[in-house]
Amino acid sequence: MKLSRIISSVASIFNPGKLNLADKRILITGCDSGYGFSLALWCKEQGMQVTACCLQPESSPGRSRLSENGIETVGLDLTSVDSINSIRKIVQQKFESKGLDYLVNNAAFLVFGEATWQTQTQVNRQIQVNMTGPLELMKICFPSLVKSKGRIINMISNCTDCPLPTLAVYTASKAGLKNLTIGMRPELSKYGVQMILVNPGDAPFHTQLCTGQLPHYQAMRREMAPAHANILGDYFFRCQEKFTTLFPSCDVMQLQDPGFYRTMHTVLTARQPAPEYENGELVTRIIFGMIRMMPAFLADRARLALTKLPQYIKN
pLDDT digits (tens, 9 = 90+) for 62-109: 999 999 999 999 999 999 999 999 999 999 999 989 999 999 999 999
CB 219 within 8 A of CB 121: yes
Q: How confident is the model at residue 158 (pLDDT cuts 50, 70, 90)?
A: confident
Eight-class DSSP state of 209: S
pLDDT over 70 at 165, yes or no: yes
Q: Could you tell me what percent of the chain has a pLDDT over 90?
A: 86
Distance CA 219, CA 216 (A): 5
The identity of residue 37, as a single letter, is: F
**Mean of the per-residue pLDDT values of the chain:** 93
pLDDT over 60 at 284, yes or no: yes
Local structure of 310: helix, strand or coil: coil
Q: Is 173 exposed, middle or buried (0-12, 13-18, 19+ CB in 10 A)?
A: buried
Distance CA 39, CA 49 (A): 12
Q: How confident is the model at residue 285 (pLDDT cuts 50, 70, 90)?
A: confident
pLDDT computed for residue 203 by the predictor: 83
Q: Could you tell me what percent of the chain has a pLDDT over 70?
A: 95
Cα-Cα-Cα-Cα torsion 232, 235, 239, 245, nearest 10 degrees, comes to 130
pLDDT digits (tens, 9 = 90+) for 187-202: 999 999 999 999 999 8
Local structure of 259: helix, strand or coil: helix
Domain range annotation of the chain = 3-209+249-280, 212-246, 286-315
Cα distances from 21 to residues 44, 118, 150, 254, in angstroms, run 10, 42, 12, 20
pLDDT over 70 at 259, yes or no: yes
Fold held by 3-209+249-280: Rossmann fold (3.40.50)
Average of per-residue pLDDT across 295-305: 95
Cβ atoms within 10 Å of 121's Cβ, excluding its own: 13
